[in-house]
């Protein structure tokens, strides 16, 4: 039990606590299902304490008088501490999620960048003056919303915790974080780093536990002023319903079925490299995974061969060995993926690669899946339309630009799209007509894109994370009119 060093505690009001019931949850390494830590099983009573502490701190004179530039210095300090402990954080993330250690290192650096980025904005949350008439001074101010709740998914815990809490704290809010029950370790590590700073106790709180218990209590709490949620559509709908009962704003990021559109004039080898990277990162357990390949018919056979050869050469293994592909999170997640694969078989689709469990020596209990390419699917089949959340790529072809756009838009999601072409005019025409929150042309992901607004159309959710746009989530606008 090295990764999490045994029993952990929650962080509430600047104190490390057990749950009120003293119950615990085992945390398992996806590569071998070994228990690496235990965390408290937080429930409604624990959430009440965390939200209460966050509220008291938000209303306190200490926090209200905490200068914006000092908030920025604290966030910069957190960024430095993340970099100081980057290797420990990367290992925790890898042991917790199963992803390759190089991806864990990238996640740690991305977390530092979020704090660094929003640190620079803490004293630049500006209002404006509005001309009305000569004897009236009218101006706006952006104020923090209050207590913000952050429901974190299990696939990128350190990144997603950092991107929303850094923006929330930069704008003057206090936060309550509910990590996923499967992957809470780096969220708790982040609390340790916060504790080392001058941040008032109660600004940053972490409650561990099941979503159906601690998470449900948090999103229903009447003293929460904003909810940020990343996860499934079904759960997102429930969170949205809970928010509506308290009439509070919510930011939802609910996944995708993202296409890579490959035209015949693209640099095929470059495109093939990125098509593979986009679908295997974190074993395909990525909301922005490029899980659909749309390739121009004239080069379909050539391009598929390029992608297939790359898929077949991938190394599968324990995350700490830094393979290309680690395990999926759990048996539950693996069985969900298998359900989709069985549907594809029943529909007589063609498996170009994979489709089976991979056995890794020394990790026989882990749930590894061979990287999988499926051709000859109906574009409207369940496999082609729904988010699988595994290293599974569905292949389709198109005859012309118009058909490519229609195929790309023909799912309930709209999160990310990759466009591969050397024709600049075509690239912009396609980007304009694509219904997704991000469009990448001749690249995919842009190195994490800390500065780029991220969010979706349709069932991919609403609101935007990352970039300056995210600051709007955590502020409310006040207009003041002074008659002179």
Q: Which residues are catalytic?
A: 253
Is residue 447 packed enough to be buried (19+ CB in 10 Å), middle (13-18) or exposed (0-12)? exposed
- Residue 193 to residues 86, 176, 188, 459, Cα–Cα distance (Å): 12, 16, 9, 35
List residues bridging with 66 in a β-sheet: none
- Would you report the helix, strand and coil content of the chain in percent, each value rounded to 5? 40, 25, 35
- Alpha carbons 48 and 149: distance in angstroms, whole number: 12
φ, ψ of residue 233 to 5 degrees: the values are -60, -45
Q: What is the CA radius of gyration of the chain?
A: 23
Choose among 330, 350, 328: nearest CA to 284. 328
Locate all alpha helices (DSSP H) within 85-184, ordered by sequence: 86-97, 101-119, 157-170
- Alpha carbons 340 and 348: distance in angstroms, whole number: 13
């Amino acid at each position: 039990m090295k990764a999490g060093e045994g029993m952990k505690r929650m962080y509430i009001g600047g104190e490390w606590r057990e749950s009120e019931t003293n119950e615990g949850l085992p945390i398992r390494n996806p590569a071998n299902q070994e228990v690496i830590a235990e965390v408290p099983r937080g429930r409604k009573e624990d959430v009440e304490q965390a939200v209460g502490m966050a509220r008291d701190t938000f209303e306190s004179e200490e926090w209200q008088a905490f200068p914006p530039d000092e908030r920025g210095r604290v966030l910069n300090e957190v960024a430095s501490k993340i970099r100081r402990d980057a290797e420990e954080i990367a290992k925790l993330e890898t042991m917790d999620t199963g992803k390759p250690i190089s991806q864990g290192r990238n996640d740690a650096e991305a977390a530092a960048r979020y704090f660094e980025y929003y640190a620079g904005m803490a004293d630049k949350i500006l209002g404006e003056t509005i001309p009305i008439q000569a004897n009236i001074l009218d101006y706006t101010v952006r104020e923090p919303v209050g207590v913000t709740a952050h429901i974190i998914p299990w696939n990128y815990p350190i990144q997603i915790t950092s991107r929303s809490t850094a923006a929330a704290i930069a704008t003057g809010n206090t936060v309550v974080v509910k990590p996923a029950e499967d992957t809470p370790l780096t969220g708790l590590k982040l609390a340790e780093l916060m504790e080392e700073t001058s941040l008032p106790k109660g600004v940053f709180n972490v409650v561990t536990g099941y979503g159906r218990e601690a998470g449900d209590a948090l999103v229903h709490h009447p003293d929460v002023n904003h909810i940020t949620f990343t996860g499934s559509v079904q759960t997102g709908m429930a969170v949205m319903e809970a928010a509506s009962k308290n009439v509070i704003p919510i930011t939802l990021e609910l996944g995708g079925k993202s296409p890579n559109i490959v035209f015949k004039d693209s640099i095929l080898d470059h495109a093939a490299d990125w098509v593979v990277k986009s679908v295997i990162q974190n074993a395909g357990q990525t909301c922005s995974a490029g899980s659909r390949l749309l390739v121009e018919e004239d080069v379909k056979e050539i391009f598929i061969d390029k992608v297939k050869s790359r898929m077949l050469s991938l190394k599968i293994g324990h995350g700490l060995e830094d393979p290309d592909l680690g395990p999926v999170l759990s048996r539950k997640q693996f069985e969900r993926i298998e359900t989709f694969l069985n549907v594809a078989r029943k529909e007589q689709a063609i498996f170009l690669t994979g489709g089976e469990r991979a056995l890794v020596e020394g990790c026989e209990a882990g749930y590894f899946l061979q990287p999988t390419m499926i051709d000859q699917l109906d574009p409207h089949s369940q496999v082609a339309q729904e988010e699988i959340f595994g290293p599974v790529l569905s292949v389709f072809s198109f005859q012309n630009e118009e058909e490519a756009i229609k195929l790309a838009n023909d799912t309930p999601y709209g999160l990310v799209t990759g466009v591969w072409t050397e024709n600049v005019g075509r690239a912009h025409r396609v980007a304009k007509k694509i219904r997704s929150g991000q469009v990448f042309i001749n690249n995919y992901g842009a190195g994490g894109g800390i500065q780029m607004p991220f969010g979706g159309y349709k069932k991919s959710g609403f609101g935007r994370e990352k970039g300056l746009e995210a600051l709007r989530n955590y502020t409310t606008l006040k207009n003041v009119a002074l008659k002179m």
